[in-house]
């Protein structure tokens, strides 16, 4: 068997980025004609086949779903995978997981690796770096080559495919309304940087809920955490940031945090500063993971139903794969298949525990 060249190797040989190679091979206009020609010639010479996805799809079914998630040490993504597995197994499919580690390049490499005959379709959540770059050519190229993708949680309009999302916006409104209805006057928000779509939507929900209740938003009450902090080992920095935030807003009586780590850390800092929870300050998080369940006091939180998201995503992907099968049996044009993409919204639910009144 002839050794097959990869995107990475082409990039290395020609001293360009993997993204450039990937774009040149999918004929993107962003890359100069010169570079595109050079890369395509090189790829041809070394037998790289950008279209082997479509070829392999026509000829065999692996009955395997490729999942790509941004992070492995993450309760939400784990529960989504559990949901995907559950449905996949029930319907006779296997799953295989690749990790982007929030990196654009690793997302491309993993997709290339898995698409190369190992899987029938993808379920994935977009990496932070990809969202920051707003470069989605690799998803579209994969879809155009005939391999379906289902996006979940972190999705974008620029990619046309089936999607499963959480009602982040409404979830936040529920949380903030709960705080307001139990008497909070000065509600802080602990969130991520804006380019992470879920953080942005949750922030919007917070602002909307305040407005609905005729409370004027105060920029000082919004703490945006740099995402590199939510890895372990940086917990001290997270604590310090939250402590500074509390000290700068001494009359704060409610906190809504966009994930459970921020929420649990906020409770810890609040206790350290002598606040009683929920008497002096109430806290609500997002994601009903182990931290929320086992926190003291138990954390009131917005449950995203990660497992249900995974189950839905798997059903959408397998439905599409099997629809393609049956449709091609009746000689219906393939382009028909790529229409009628669905976006399923999984309702959030406020799980009330002892961190609120």
* Binding positions for a copy of itself, rule: CB under 8 A: 1, 3-4, 6, 55-56, 59-64, 72-75, 78-79, 81-82, 85, 89, 94-99, 101, 106, 109-110, 113-114, 118, 232, 235, 261, 264-265, 268, 290-291, 293-296
CA 128 → CA 133, 183, 195, distances in Å? 9, 36, 8
Q: Which is nearer to a copy of itself, 36 or 265 (CB)?
A: 265
Nearer Cβ to a copy of itself (211/228): 228
- With residue 248 as reference, give the H or E element that holds it: helix 235-248
> CB of residue 92 vs a copy of itself: minimum separation in angstroms?
9
Nearer to a copy of itself, 55 or 332 (CB): 55
Cis before 297? omega within 30? yes
Angle at Cα 262 formed by Cα 207 and Cα 173, nearest 5°? 25
Q: Which residue has the tokens 């409610």?
A: 254
Element (H, E) at 328: helix 306-329
> Is the Cβ of residue 208 or residue 243 nearer to a copy of itself in the bound state?
243
Please answer whether residues 96 and 65 qualify as being in contact, where contact means their C-beta atoms are separated by less than 8 angstroms. Answer: yes
Decide whether 105 or 191 has the Cβ nearer to a copy of itself: 105
Task: For the chain, report the end-to-end CA distance as a whole number of angstroms.
Answer: 67
Nearest-angstrom CA–CA distance, 22 and 9: 12
| Shortest distance (Å) from residue 54 CB to a copy of itself | 13
Q: How far is the CB of 154 from a copy of itself (least distance, A)?
A: 19
Instruction: Provide the minimum distance between the beta carbon of 152 and a copy of itself in the complex, in angstroms, as a whole number.
Output: 15
Q: How far from chain centre, in Å, is Cα 184?
A: 31
Closest separation between CB of residue 167 and a copy of itself, Å? 22
CB of 4 to a copy of itself, least distance (A): 7
CA distance 352 to 134: 37
Least distance between a copy of itself and beta carbon 89 (Å): 8
Nearer to a copy of itself, 208 or 239 (CB): 239
As a whole number of angstroms, the distance between CA 224 and CA 86 comes to 36
Cβ proximity to a copy of itself, 205 vs 285, nearer residue: 285
In angstroms, rounded to a whole number, what is the distance separating the alpha carbons of residues 264 and 152? 25
């Amino acid at each position: 068997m002839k050794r097959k060249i990869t995107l990475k190797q082409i990039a290395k040989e020609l001293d360009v980025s993997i993204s450039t190679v990937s774009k040149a091979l999918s004929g993107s206009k962003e890359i100069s004609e010169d570079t595109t020609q050079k890369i395509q010639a090189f790829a041809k010479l070394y037998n790289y086949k950008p279209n082997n996805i479509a070829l392999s799809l026509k000829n065999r079914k692996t009955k395997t779903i490729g999942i790509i998630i941004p992070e492995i040490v993450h309760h939400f993504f784990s529960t989504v995978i559990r949901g995907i597995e559950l449905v996949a197994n029930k319907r006779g499919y296997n799953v295989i997981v690749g990790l982007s580690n929030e990196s654009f390049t690793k997302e491309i490499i993993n997709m290339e690796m898995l698409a190369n005959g190992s899987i029938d379709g993808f379920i994935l959540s977009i990496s932070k770096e990809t969202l920051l770059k707003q470069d989605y050519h690799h998803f579209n190229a994969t879809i155009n080559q005939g391999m379906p993708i289902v996006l979940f949680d972190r999705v974008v309009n620029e990619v046309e495919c089936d999607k499963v999302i959480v009602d982040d916006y409404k979830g936040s409104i529920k949380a903030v309304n709960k705080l307001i209805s139990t008497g909070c006057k000065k509600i802080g928000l602990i969130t991520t940087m804006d380019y992470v779509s879920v953080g942005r939507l949750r922030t919007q929900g917070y602002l909307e809920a305040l407005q609905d209740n005729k409370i004027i938003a105060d920029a000082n009450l919004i703490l945006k955490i740099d995402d590199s902090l939510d890895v372990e080992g940086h917990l001290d920095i997270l604590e310090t940031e939250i402590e500074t935030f509390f000290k700068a807003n001494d009359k704060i009586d409610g906190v809504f945090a966009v994930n459970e780590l921020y929420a649990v850390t906020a409770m810890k800092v609040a206790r350290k500063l002598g606040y009683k929870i929920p008497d002096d300050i109430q806290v609500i998080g997002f994601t009903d993971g182990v931290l929320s369940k086992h926190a003291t006091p138990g954390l009131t939180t917005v449950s995203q139903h990660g497992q249900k998201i995974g189950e839905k995503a798997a059903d959408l992907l397998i439905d599409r794969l099997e629809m393609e099968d049956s449709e091609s049996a009746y000689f219906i044009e393939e382009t028909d298949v790529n229409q009628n993409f669905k976006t399923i919204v999984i309702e959030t639910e406020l799980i009330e525990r002892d961190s609120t009144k």
